[in-house]
Amino acid sequence: MIWKYKNYRGVKIFYSFEEMKTFIRLLEKNRIKYRIHAGYGLEGLRGKISREHWDLDLLSLKKYEKKLEKIIEEEGYEIHKHRNLLKIMRNRIKIIDIGLLVKEGDKYVSYGAIAETRFPSKLFKPQKGHIGNFKFNIASNELLKLWGSTSKYINDRKLIKNLEVDTKLYKKIRRKLYA
């Protein structure tokens, strides 16, 4: 079962680990560079699922936009574009956010659902995370620390407290919340 529904009025819908694995395999089969961040990115550091997740958040490069759109539509998902953010939906419910990174000099710019983030391109370096024996690409520790610092979950904030980061690179990250 992919979806778990709770209290219809509050519409709490959770994105399953199995659906995440299926989507990641699709990206890897099509040789699309990606990095998982936010909730599932932090789970990749932990090596296990610590809570339920609303969606899957990932970063990819703008150059993969057309390829992403094609494979996503072939899989039966709906796509809504907002700036350089692909909101992937099924049954009119958002389940995946793909931030398409735009290169500006030696930085990438991510236009997410709640903020614009500018960071040194070095921070898109590959890093492997895992949940059980399933391995996948996660964002750098610096980006995971940034996104984890705004998490409403105490366990996420505890996890990033002692996370090793390159302080110089971390200080170069700029984030502007949308009003």
For helices 154-161 and 141-149, what crossing angle results, to 10°?
A: 140
Provide the strand spans (E) within the chain.
3-6, 12-15, 34-37, 56-61, 78-82, 85-90, 93-104, 107-111, 115-120, 128-131, 134-137, 174-177
Residue 11, pLDDT score: 52
Its domain, for residue 92, covers 3-177
pLDDT tens profile 59-108: 999 999 999 999 999 999 999 998 899 999 887 777 899 999 999 999 99
In DSSP terms, which residues pair with 96 in a beta bridge? 56, 88
Residue 160, pLDDT score: 94
Comparing CA positions, the residue from 154, 23, 31, 160 lying closest to residue 95 is: 23
**What is the domain-level CATH number for residue 78?**
3.30.460.40
Total domains in the fold of the chain: 1
Comparing CA positions, the residue from 99, 102, 101, 92 lying closest to residue 56 is: 99
Which residues of the chain are modeled with pLDDT < 50?
Answer: 1-9
Residue 5, pLDDT score: 41
